[in-house]
């Protein structure tokens, strides 16, 4: 039975697809069978990333692990059960096709509130929420006072996760493991950076998530997308000397994989 890893956040530009691609590829490189679904039906960033990977590897003749990508099944009114919404049915059918043949299913949600995202969150065994190092993004998790020192209460995204947790409990499923990543963090030491670190730590205790290590803001992540590559692939395609930035970024991927604590995974890179 596959373990479902959902990457979700109601705000775009937080790096969900990049993190999802690196996690899915890392698992595949370590010998795990990985299926993927992209619920952003318009942009399809994860789907495009994997398509680029297949095309580039074929063109260059490299043999590297590629997570399996499957498009959502088309709507089928005859397949919808009583009381089930069409979006729920599409996602359920996709997960059922992947669940028995893969160790992990990686689901990339759109940066918006949609029915598909809502259902995916309720399915998540592990929920990963990348968060830009900004109080604009933090506002989706919690409302804060003007100085950023006091949390007033949970906000819209945290409430959606709470609803997903309640639904899982109602259906007798194990609690999800929710990890929030401070992602795309700049190198400079700034007052806002320290305040964000403190606020995320406080909120984690209040609404029940773990804080994980995200990725720093690096040009290399944007450069890898057209070829569908990840930082773990560079030596395998002939890059003999990695830059200091690339080595540091690779360590960030390693730290993230360890922090996720996925079942049956021994990080070996």
pLDDT digits (tens, 9 = 90+) for 116-170: 999 999 999 999 999 988 888 999 999 988 766 788 889 999 999 999 999 999 9
Who contacts 132 (Cβ-Cβ below 8 Å, separation ≥6)? 11, 13, 14, 15, 183, 184
Which pLDDT score, from 0 to 100, does residue 190 have?
Answer: 67
Q: Using CA atoms, how far apart are residues 251 and 269, in angstroms rounded to an integer?
A: 9
In tens, the pLDDT along 225-263 reads 999 999 999 999 988 888 998 999 999 999 999 999 999
Q: Which domains can be identified in the chain, with CATH numbers?
A: 3-260 (3.40.50.300)
Distance (Å, whole) CA 240 – CA 187: 26
Looking at the predicted structure, is the pLDDT value of residue 87 above 70?
A: yes
Higher pLDDT, 146 or 182: 182
What is the pLDDT at residue 111? 93
Structure tokens at 53: 């990977």
Amino acid 12: pLDDT:
86
Per-residue pLDDT at 187:
66
User: Which pLDDT belongs to residue 189?
Assistant: 60
**Does pLDDT of 5 surpass 90?**
yes
Neighbours of 244 (CB within 10 A): 7
3-class secondary structure per residue, the chain? CCEEEEECCCCCCCCHHHHHHHHHHHHHHCCCCEEEEECCCCCCHHHHHHHHHHHHHHHHCCCCCCCEECCCCCCCHHHCCCCCCHHHHHHHHHHHHHHCCCCEEEEECCCCCCHHHHHHHHHCCEEEEEEECCHHHHCCCEEECCCCCCEEEECHHHHHHHHHHHHHHHCCCCCCEEEEEEECECCCCCHHHHHHHHHHHHHHHHHCCEEEECCECCHHHHHHHHHCCCHHHCHHHCCCCCCHHHHHHHHHHHHHHHHHCCCCCCCCC
Contact present, 21 and 49 (Cβ < 8 Å): yes
pLDDT in tens, 48-76: 999 999 999 999 999 999 999 999 998 88
Higher per-residue confidence, 143 vs 178: 178
Tokens 């990890």, located at residue: 179
Instruction: State the Cα–Cα distance between residues 40 and 63, nearest whole angstrom.
Output: 28
Q: 217 pLDDT band (50/70/90 cuts)?
A: confident
Q: What is the mean pLDDT of residues 105-118?
A: 96
Calculate the average pLDDT of the chain. Answer: 93
Neighbours of 157 (CB within 10 A): 21
Is pLDDT above 80 for 9? yes
Average pLDDT for residues 176-195, to the nearest whole number?
82
The token duo for 33 is 């069978």
In angstroms and rounded to an integer, the radius of gyration of the C-alpha atoms of the chain is: 19
What pLDDT, on a 0 to 100 scale, did the predictor assign at position 223? 92
Report residue 177's pLDDT band, with 50, 70 and 90 as the boundaries: very high
Give the pLDDT mean for 37-44. Answer: 96
Cα gap 237→84, rounded to integer Å: 46
| Lowest mean pLDDT segment, chosen from 39-53, 100-114, 137-151, 184-198 | 184-198
Smallest CA-to-CA distance from 108 within 42, 61, 172 is with 42
> What's residue 242's pLDDT?
87
Proportion of the chain above pLDDT 90, given as a percent: 74
| Residues 79, 39: Cα–Cα separation, whole Å | 19
């Amino acid at each position: 039975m596959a373990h479902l890893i959902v990457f979700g956040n109601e705000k775009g530009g937080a790096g969900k697809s990049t993190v999802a691609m690196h996690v899915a590829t890392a698992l595949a490189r370590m010998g795990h069978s990985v299926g993927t679904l992209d619920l952003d039906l318009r942009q399809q960033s994860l789907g495009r990333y994997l398509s680029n990977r297949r095309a580039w590897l074929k063109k260059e003749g490299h043999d590297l692990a590629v997570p399996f990508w499957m498009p959502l099944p088309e709507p089928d009114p005859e397949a919808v059960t009583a009381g089930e919404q069409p979006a729920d049915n599409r996602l359920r059918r996709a997960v059922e096709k992947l669940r028995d043949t893969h160790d992990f299913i990686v689901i990339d949600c759109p940066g918006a509130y949609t029915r598909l995202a809502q259902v995916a969150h309720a399915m998540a065994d592990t929920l990963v929420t990348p968060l830009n190092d900004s109080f604009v993004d933090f506002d989706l998790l919690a409302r804060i006072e003007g100085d950023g020192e006091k949390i007033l209460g949970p906000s819209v995204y945290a409430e959606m996760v709470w609803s997903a947790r309640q639904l899982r409990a109602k259906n007798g499923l194990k609690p999800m493991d929710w990890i929030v990543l401070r992602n795309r963090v700049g190198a400079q030491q700034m007052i806002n950076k320290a305040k964000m670190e403190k606020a995320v730590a406080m909120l984690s205790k209040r609404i029940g998530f773990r804080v994980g290590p995200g990725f720093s803001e690096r040009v290399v992540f944007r450069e890898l997308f057209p070829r569908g590559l990840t930082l773990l692939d560079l030596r395998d395609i002939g890059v003999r000397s990695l830059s200091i930035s690339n080595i540091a970024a690779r360590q960030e991927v390693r730290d993230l994989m360890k922090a996720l604590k996925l079942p049956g995974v021994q990080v070996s890179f």
